[in-house]
Amino acid sequence: MENFLSVKDCSKEELLDIIKLAVDFKNNPEKYSQALAGKSIATLYEKPSLRTRVSFDVGIAKLGGHAVYLDQQNGALGKRESVKDFARNLSCWVDAIVARVFEHNTLVELAEHANVPVVNSLCNLYHPCQAMADYQTLYEVKGATLEGASIAYIGDGNNVAHSLMLAGAILGVDVRVITPIGYSPDALIAQHAQTLAEQNGGKITLSHDIELANGVDAIYNDTWISMGDSKSLEDVRKIFAPYQTNAALMEKTGAQYFMHCQPVYRGIEATDEVVDGECSLLMQQAENRMHAQNAVLMTLLKK
């Protein structure tokens, strides 16, 4: 692994190794306290963040490394100076670049011109660090395995849905993606996920019918309006209303767990009773962001 722009470039073995390393780091943090000693990592953001920003910063410190936070002071990358020059300059000082950007192409350009690894911490198409934390969480609650695991992503076919599909396909998970008509995942990404599932023993099913969620281990939500979207909340609420996760849906489907990448819009995509209920894995997912990302960084930066 040279970069971590999308999980689609990783093998099943690589993704499972990241999950196992993340779990080991979570249980034995002292063992890894010098894993990134002397390393500096730039974390840059074109969009807001709570979980990603803090989990990378604290996680890098726990590995003995140093995080340099670059906020949105320059607006979109490429405005003040070219992405190429930005990448080449950063590479003079740091050992890796973690970037949250509007356009996936910005990450591709960063990776092309940087001579250090680049990690995608969210773009318009993918959120791979989130997917790794999510599958680490599912692996933990399923008893250190993803064998036979199933998940229903319900909502907008967005960046989070794409990474859950791709990672699930590679890891051999049964991933069902349920969206309103007109909000399906990107067709090419869905096709790629199908191919990866066939190669790795996963299963990808797309539907507009909520019934498809019956019998899964976990129901997964994300916001119905992503950062940078221009959808109106009023329209979206009408179109997505049948797709809300509430106690009745949890009971009907028999799902044991509720997952969400957060931020959660309470009372919109999910009700308080599921967000705060026994079934909720939200804080475990949030905590695992740090562990999974640290495992990604250690994998990319190991000698």
Which element (helix H / strand E) includes 174? Answer: strand 174-178
In 3D space, the residue among 125, 129, 134 whose CA is nearest the CA of residue 101 turns out to be: 125
In 3D space, the residue among 49, 239, 270, 51 whose CA is nearest the CA of residue 153 turns out to be: 270
- Choose the one of ligand CP, ligand NVA, none that binds residue 223, judging by a C-beta under 5 to 8 angstroms depending on kind: ligand NVA
* Contact characters 135-174, ligand NVA, x per CB under 6 A: -----------------------xxx--------------
- Choose the one of ligand CP, ligand NVA, none that binds residue 50, judging by a C-beta under 5 to 8 angstroms depending on kind: ligand CP
Burial of 37 (0-12, 13-18, 19+ CB in 10 A): exposed
Question: Is residue 129 flagged as an active site residue?
Answer: no
Neighbours of 73 (CB within 10 A): 8
Give the single-character DSSP code of 75.
Answer: -
In the bound state with ligand NVA, the residue whose beta carbon lies nearer, of 229 and 276, is 229
**Residue among 51, 53, 100, 176 flagged as catalytic:** 100
Positions that interact with ligand CP (CB under 6 A): 49-52, 122, 130, 261-263
- Choose the one of ligand CP, ligand NVA, none that binds residue 108, judging by a C-beta under 5 to 8 angstroms depending on kind: none
Q: Check residue 43 for interaction with ligand NVA (CB under 6 A).
A: no
Rg (alpha carbons) of the chain, rounded to whole number: 19
3-state secondary structure of 264: coil
Question: Is residue 80 flagged as an active site residue?
Answer: no
Least distance CB 124 / ligand CP (angstroms): 14
Which parts of this chain interact with ligand NVA (CB under 6 A)? 122, 158-160, 222-223, 226-227, 261
